[in-house]
Amino acid sequence: MKKTLLTFLLFISFTNFNAQTKAERNFGSWYYIYGTHKISTNWSILTGFEEHNYQTLKNYNLVLYTVTANYKLSKKFTTTLGYMYLDIDKTFDEDIDPNTIENRHYEQISYKFSLLNLPFDHRVRVEHRHLNTLGNNSLIHRVRYRLRTKISLNNTFYLTASNESFLNFKGNLYAENRFYSALGIKASKNIALEIGYLGHYISDLHLDRLQFGIFFNTDLRKKAKI
C-alpha cells in the first residue's frame, strides 16, 4: 500500500512538473532601485528603475522606468500621480518579434495605520495602460490593491511583507496577484537594501522570483552651504 501511494505521489509530482511552463520551472529575478526626493513639507518626487528576468541574472523580460509626484494630505494619507515606461518581451525563449512598449499613467492613494502594534499601509492604484505591439495599440484599465507591513528587528535589520491583487475593468476580472516577503538592511539613514521572494500569479502562471532592491531618500529642500 505504501509503495502504491508513493508511486502515485511521484506520478502526480512528475505530471505537475511537466505541465509547468518554462517560465514556471525557472527561478526568475527582479532588480530595482527607487529614490524618494523631498521638495517641500508635503510634496515629494519618486523615481525608479526595474529590470525583470525570466531566469536569475539572465533572460530579459522587461525594463521599467517610473516617476511620480506625491502629495501628503496628512500623516496617514498620501496621493500620487505617476507615469511608467516599459519595454516588455513576453516570450521566455529567444525570438525576433518586437517587444511591446507600454506607456502607463496612474492615480494612487495610500493610507497608513497600526494594528496589534504593527505598522500597515493600504495602497489603491488605478492604472491606464497604453500598449503598442507592431503598431497595434490597445488601452487597458485596471485597479491594484496592496496591503503591506514592516517590522523592525533592530536598528539595522527589518522584515517586510505585502500582498497585492490586480483587478481588470474588462475581461478576466482577477488576473494577477503578488505576494512579497523580504529581509531589509538599513545601510544608512537614507539608504536601505532588500532581498526577498516574490510569489507571482499572472495569467494562470505561478512564478517564483528573487527580488533585490535599493531604496534611497534625498532632501532637496536643504540649501547648499556657502
66 near 47, Cβ under 8 Å? yes
Tell me how far apart the alpha carbons of residues 130 and 80 are, in angstroms, rounded to a whole number. Answer: 19
Q: What share of the chain is helix, strand, coil (3-state, %, to 5)?
A: 10, 65, 25
- What would the grid cell of residue 193 be? 537594501
> Nearest-CA neighbor of 54 among 88, 27, 86, 19?
27
pTM over 0.95: no
pLDDT for residue 11 is more than 70: no
pLDDT, mean over the chain: 88
Q: How far apart are CA 105 and CA 89, in angstroms?
A: 20
Per residue in 132-161, pLDDT tens?
Answer: 998 899 999 999 999 999 999 999 999 999
Q: What CA–CA distance (Å, rounded) separates 61 from 29?
A: 10
The CATH code for residues 27-219 is 2.40.160.40
CB within 8 Å of 19: residues ≥ 6 apart: none
Name the one residue in this structure whose C-alpha cell is 523615481.
Answer: 47
pLDDT in tens, 82-115: 999 999 998 877 777 789 999 999 999 999 999 9
Q: What is the DSSP string of 145-214?
A: EEEEEEEE-SSSEEEEEEEEEEEESSSSSEEEEEEEEEEEEE-SSSEEEEEEEEEEEETTEEEEEEEEEE
Query: Burial level of 98, CB count in 10 A (0-12/13-18/19+)?
Result: exposed
How crowded is residue 182: how many other Cβ atoms within 10 Å of its Cβ? Answer: 21
The pLDDT score that the predictor gives to residue 112 is 96
Checking if the pLDDT of 66 tops 90, the result is yes
| Amino acid making up residue 210 | L
Domains of the chain, residue spans = 27-219
Q: Reply yes or no on whether the pLDDT at 8 is more than 60.
A: no
